[in-house]
Chains A and B, each alone.
Chain A
Amino acid sequence: MPKPPPPLFLGRASYRQRRLRDAVRLLPVAGAVGCMIPLLWPRGAEGPGNGLALLYLFGLWAGLIAAAFILSRAMRPEDDTDAAEGE
């Protein structure tokens, strides 16, 4: 079987790390937007009610925590020098 060609772009690992940082930066923005979504719902008796709102908010919260956990695992600790901070 022929060997697959080597990857064209050599800085894959560090590229991935920089995009991970982008994701870490983006996560709170997504979270803030998610928290504000219930404000669009109708209020009072014809609205979804606090039970549903509670489920939605805690679900969103748990999802954010899970995402933060996964991202924190994927980030490499030794890359803390921020040589590529500007990108």
Chain B
Amino acid sequence: MLTFNLLVLVALAYVAFLFAVAFAAERRAARGDDGWLRSPLIYTLSLSIYCTAWTFYGAVGYAARSGLEYLTIYLGPSLVMIGWFWVVRKLVRIGRTQRITSIADLISSRYGKSTALGVIVTILVVVGITPYIALQLQSITLSFSVFVDPGGDVPAGASRDAVALWSAAGLALFTILFGTRNLDANERHHGVVLAIAVEAVVKLCALLAVGIFVVWGIGRGWTDMLARIDASPIADWSQPGGRWVGLTFLSAAAFLCLPRMFQVLVVENGNERHLVTASWAFPLYLLLMSLFVVPIAVLGLDLMPAGSNPDLFVLTLPLSQGRDGLAMLSFLGGFSSATSMVIVATIALATMVSNHIVVPVWLRLRRDGSMIAGDVRGVVLLARRVSIAAVLALGYVYFRLSGGGAALSAIGLIAFVGVTQILPAMIGGIFWRGATGLGAAAGLVSGFAIWVWTLFLPSFGADAVIPAQVMAQGPWGIGWLRPHAFFGVQGIDPVMHAMIWSMLVNTSLFLIVSMLTFPNPLERMQGAQFVNVFEHSAGTRAWGQTAAAAEDLLIMAQRIIGAADAQAIFLRAAQAQGKPGYLPDVTPDFIALLERELAGSVGAATAHAMVGQFTEGASVTVEDLIAVADEAAQILEYSTQLEAKSAELEQTAGQLRAANEKLTALSVQKDSFLSQISHELRTPMTSIRAFSEILRDGDTGPAEQQKYAGIIQDEALRLTRLLDDLLDLDVLEHGQVELHRQRGQLRDVIDRAVSAAGPRGGRLRLVRRRADEAIMLETDLERLAQVFINLIANAQKYCNAADPVLRIEVARLGAGYAVDFVDNGTGISPEHRQVIFEKFSRLTDPGRAGGAGLGLAICREIMARLGGGIDYLPGQGGAAFRVVLPVADAMAAQ
């Protein structure tokens, strides 16, 4: 006999194994070695979280009670996946182009990025899914209790609650650890996905092993098994037709609407092609999961003592035959089913709660300066972690309060009916342009209310929430509102009753209100984007002409998605527009792109609100509306194209003007440089000539001779230095320079640069993180040091803060590294940024600097020769320069 302690030990070892698997997957993904993590097989296996503990244990119990009806729960999803070309493909495509983070986000985004709809859907699923999570906790405790007391009854309360509590805590830890690693919900959670794929294999193997044991170990093969079925209490085909059709529809709908299924099916989908494989592989998985259910149920009814819980036959049957190992495997299978469902459901719910409730509330509370102060990214991550803990705590509380009595499948079906309320708004939203937000809200709220009244509240038991007298006679004696007999239609099975009425009212209100109301422009545009997703996958165009400053947007984006990612997006956008630096033109395309990127982290509604703070005239342009109304569009489209062309011309003209201004400025600079260089050459020349004349005339004492010769030499040195700089630049520009490649530490190069530049202006304080600088380089270290010396010297000369500080930061940038030099002065004004890297440019008055304005030009040439780059980095609070180390060198790192 297995002891309780051994069981706990095995469960803990299994959990440790899952942690190791998830950790290893994250490590591999971080190294970029994640090819097989993105395979269609892993995707299909991750879909198997549809099979929870309810299906693992409950299906056998279901079959023992109601014959073949349990098959409907598997047939519905099978049909949905076989018919992937209808709905799932469209959902996945929309999820990818609109960067959808959850099912609440899908509804909110479709109906004009509405915050209210996001909140409604979030509340609905939290209410519907919390009991479902409680059900998983219950199944874990129940399966533990089997080993303590083979009868399947609940053991001593304390240990039962402890099992549930520790399970919930462990699951919360796992989910927080691996579910919130990255903020962007569209990035796959590799650790979680691989862990649930492993669990999918474990539960399938466990159920197949028990099934094979039952058919060939206890029975004598298939024919014998069919004979046993015919002799069993469930021999007759007596399936009520209504429930058969209704439950097939219900499970198909729930498969699309359950938050955890939406998470793995749409959000975690890495490649649309995986659907093609999953279209046959997932039904096959479901077939295998349900293949042995009836044999196990029949033999359980036959062999187990009367009155034993059929929900636990999967465990008790092997135990009663003395197969402890098999029982242990079966226990792990049930454990896997419960844990993987809880993990993914919790991630999905936490994403919704944080994106649609916590963050909007937080933003509203600090409306005034939300973009300027505070770290949004940190808040969102914290909100998500707290939500995970809160969701699991809610599940645990529900488990404690409900006492865990009802048959396992009851809660499952109740949750299915609850989430199915989203179906009309979802299907209508992706196939019907006329669906409006008000219609969706009317349908959702009415369906939700009916579900709560007719199914959810009565499920707590008679007199628990609704008094028995109300159940029998209706509220305030209104007979047609009785929870189980709406409009006097009596005698229907409660689940079917609730499903039919809620779906009927939900769908009707959705359609009627949609037809009566008028959508706002953003809603119409999103509707067109969703319904016609295959025609224009280019993505949304949200805004017209705007006055948002690119730098403000950069500062905001840095706070949400992190500095490195934000800078990368801005750099790419600027490059696509053909502009140097980090600040692209704020075009509608760019705004739409940025909004989508942010939506991947905080949801569409919040991203829209945040970007909206910066964009004036928060309305949809004529052009966008015409694209929406494409049935009436041809002529208008043409004039719009003309308009677009003229806008493009205007932009080109603007760029030409800018280029011209730059040329003029350069010409002025060149003139001033020539006059300055003449001046610089003449001054030393004059004194050299004068003192050499005195020396030639020869009537001087030795001491004076010494002094005059010294002056002549100093002036000659100054001339040489100037000419050296000019020559250096010339050599670099014409590519004749020879590089002396060496290996060395970045830290040493910076050390050398600091000590070379240091002694002159001791006032400047340096802030470094020496640990980050331990990077091996293979490049011309002398030249690199020259660049660093120049940047440090510039900070010494030009930083005008009272207490000047220069931060030197090393950061990973894609495949390579970047070294940022950021001081705390006033920085460089935008109009000067484009000329500082030019030759002869110097921003302050010539007398103060003492150089000829060649330093940064030389730096730029050196970095270009080394294969890297140097740029001005805006939005950092002072003058900031980013030196990008050449990629090949960084590859040679470590």
- Does A87 interact with chain B (Cβ within 8 Å)? no
Residues on B with C-beta less than 8 A from A43 are 236-239
Select A54's contact among B68, B80, B245, B280, beta carbons within 8 Å.
B68
Known: A24-B85, A27-B82, A51-B229. A82 touches B237 (CB 8 A): no
B255 CB → nearest A CB, Å? 12
User: For the complex, what is the distance from the CA of A27 to the CA of B534, rounded to whole Å?
Assistant: 22
B78 touches A31 (CB 8 A): yes
- Does B334 interact with chain A (Cβ within 8 Å)? no
User: For the complex, what is the distance from the CA of A31 to the CA of B286, rounded to whole Å?
Assistant: 15
Select B82's contact among A21, A31, A49, beta carbons within 8 Å.
A31
Select B79's contact among A24, A28, A44, A48, beta carbons within 8 Å.
A28
A61 CB → nearest B CB, Å? 5
A47 touches B280 (CB 8 A): no
Q: In the complex, identify which listed stretch (B271-279, B351-359, B581-589, B696-704) lies at the interface while the others stay far away.
A: B271-279
A82 touches B229 (CB 8 A): no
User: For the complex, what is the distance from the CA of A66 to the CA of B83, rounded to whole Å?
Assistant: 14
Residues on A with C-beta less than 8 A from B239 are 38-39, 43
Residues on B with C-beta less than 8 A from A64 are 78, 82, 283
A36 touches B78 (CB 8 A): no
Q: Which of B261-301 contact A (CB under 8 A)?
A: 272-273, 276-277, 279-280, 283-284, 287, 291, 294
A49 touches B230 (CB 8 A): yes
A32 CB → nearest B CB, Å? 6
- Does A8 interact with chain B (Cβ within 8 Å)? no
A72 touches B82 (CB 8 A): no
B86 touches A44 (CB 8 A): no
Q: Which of B188-239 contact A (CB under 8 A)?
A: 226, 229-230, 234-239
Nearest CB in chain A to that of B227: its residue: A51
Most chain-B Cβ atoms within 10 A of its Cβ — which of A38, A55, A65, A69? A65
Residues on B with C-beta less than 8 A from A68 are 82, 279-280, 283
A47 touches B236 (CB 8 A): yes
Contact digits for A38-75, partner B, Cβ 8 Å, 1 yes 0 no? 11010111011111111101100110111011001001
Nearest CB in chain A to that of B226: its residue: A51
- Does A12 interact with chain B (Cβ within 8 Å)? no
Select B86's contact among A25, A55, A62, beta carbons within 8 Å.
A25
Select A65's contact among B80, B235, B272, B283, beta carbons within 8 Å.
B283
B287 touches A44 (CB 8 A): no
B271 CB → nearest A CB, Å? 10
Select B236's contact among A24, A49, A57, A62, beta carbons within 8 Å.
A49
Known: A25-B85, A61-B78. A44 touches B276 (CB 8 A): no
- Does B781 interact with chain A (Cβ within 8 Å)? no
Select A58's contact among B230, B236, B238, B287, beta carbons within 8 Å.
B287
User: For the complex, what is the distance from the CA of A74 to the CA of B85, rounded to whole Å?
Assistant: 14
Residues on B with C-beta less than 8 A from A66 are 280
Known: A36-B245, A57-B71, A64-B82. A50 touches B236 (CB 8 A): yes
B674 CB → nearest A CB, Å? 59
- Does A11 interact with chain B (Cβ within 8 Å)? no
- Does A77 interact with chain B (Cβ within 8 Å)? yes
Q: Which of B534-561 contact A (CB under 8 A)?
A: 534-535
How extensive is the interface on chain A, given as a class? 35 or more
Known: A54-B68, A62-B287, A68-B279. A41 touches B237 (CB 8 A): yes
Residues on B with C-beta less than 8 A from A24 are 83-85, 279
A18 CB → nearest B CB, Å? 12
Residues on A with C-beta less than 8 A from B291 are 58
A26 CB → nearest B CB, Å? 9
How extensive is the interface on chain B, given as a class? 35 or more
A65 touches B79 (CB 8 A): no
Nearest CB in chain A to that of B295: its residue: A54
Residues on B with C-beta less than 8 A from A72 are 276-277, 279-280
User: For the complex, what is the distance from the CA of A44 to the CA of B230, rounded to whole Å?
Assistant: 12
- Does B67 interact with chain A (Cβ within 8 Å)? yes
Residues on B with C-beta less than 8 A from A57 are 68, 71, 75
A65 touches B284 (CB 8 A): yes
User: For the complex, what is the distance from the CA of A64 to the CA of B283, rounded to whole Å?
Assistant: 9
Residues on B with C-beta less than 8 A from A21 are 85
User: For the complex, what is the distance from the CA of A53 to the CA of B238, rounded to whole Å?
Assistant: 11
Residues on B with C-beta less than 8 A from A38 are 237, 239, 244
A45 touches B248 (CB 8 A): no
A61 touches B283 (CB 8 A): yes
A65 touches B236 (CB 8 A): no
A28 touches B68 (CB 8 A): no
A41 CB → nearest B CB, Å? 6
Nearest CB in chain A to that of B231: its residue: A51
- Does B241 interact with chain A (Cβ within 8 Å)? yes
User: For the complex, what is the distance from the CA of A38 to the CA of B236, rounded to whole Å?
Assistant: 12
Residues on A with C-beta less than 8 A from B534 are 82, 85
Residues on A with C-beta less than 8 A from B272 are 80
Residues on B with C-beta less than 8 A from A41 are 237
A28 touches B237 (CB 8 A): no
A28 touches B83 (CB 8 A): yes
Residues on A with C-beta less than 8 A from B71 are 57
Contact digits for B68-90, partner A, Cβ 8 Å, 1 yes 0 no? 10010001001110111110000
Contact digits for A11-34, partner B, Cβ 8 Å, 1 yes 0 no? 000000000010011011101100
User: For the complex, what is the distance from the CA of A51 to the CA of B79, rounded to whole Å?
Assistant: 23
Residues on B with C-beta less than 8 A from A48 are 237
Residues on A with C-beta less than 8 A from B279 are 24, 68, 72
Residues on A with C-beta less than 8 A from B84 are 24
User: For the complex, what is the distance from the CA of A53 to the CA of B531, rounded to whole Å?
Assistant: 40
A51 touches B82 (CB 8 A): no
A54 CB → nearest B CB, Å? 6
User: For the complex, what is the distance from the CA of A2 to the CA of B178, rounded to whole Å?
Assistant: 68
Q: Which of B682-729 contact A (CB under 8 A)?
A: none
B90 CB → nearest A CB, Å? 11
User: For the complex, what is the distance from the CA of A64 to the CA of B352, rounded to whole Å?
Assistant: 36
User: For the complex, what is the distance from the CA of A51 to the CA of B80, rounded to whole Å?
Assistant: 26
User: For the complex, what is the distance from the CA of A45 to the CA of B244, rounded to whole Å?
Assistant: 19
B276 touches A77 (CB 8 A): yes
B236 touches A28 (CB 8 A): no
A50 touches B294 (CB 8 A): yes
User: For the complex, what is the distance from the CA of A42 to the CA of B276, rounded to whole Å?
Assistant: 38
Residues on A with C-beta less than 8 A from B280 are 65-66, 68-69, 72
A44 touches B236 (CB 8 A): yes
Nearest CB in chain B to that of A80: its residue: B272
Residues on B with C-beta less than 8 A from A58 are 287, 291
User: For the complex, what is the distance from the CA of A64 to the CA of B82, rounded to whole Å?
Assistant: 8
B620 CB → nearest A CB, Å? 26
B235 touches A49 (CB 8 A): yes
Residues on B with C-beta less than 8 A from A65 are 78, 82, 280, 283-284, 287
Nearest CB in chain B to that of A48: its residue: B237
A7 CB → nearest B CB, Å? 27
Q: What are 12 A-B contacts with C-beta separation under 8 Å?
A: A35-B75, A43-B236, A49-B235, A50-B236, A52-B237, A57-B75, A61-B283, A65-B280, A68-B82, A68-B283, A72-B279, A80-B273
Q: Which residues of A are interface residues toward B (Cβ below 8 A)?
A: 21, 24-25, 27-29, 31-32, 35-36, 38-39, 41, 43-45, 47-55, 57-58, 61-62, 64-66, 68-69, 72, 75, 77, 80, 82, 85
Besides the contacts A21-B85, A44-B237, A64-B82, what 5 more A-B pairs have beta carbons closer than 8 Å? Answer: A39-B239, A50-B294, A55-B226, A57-B75, A68-B283
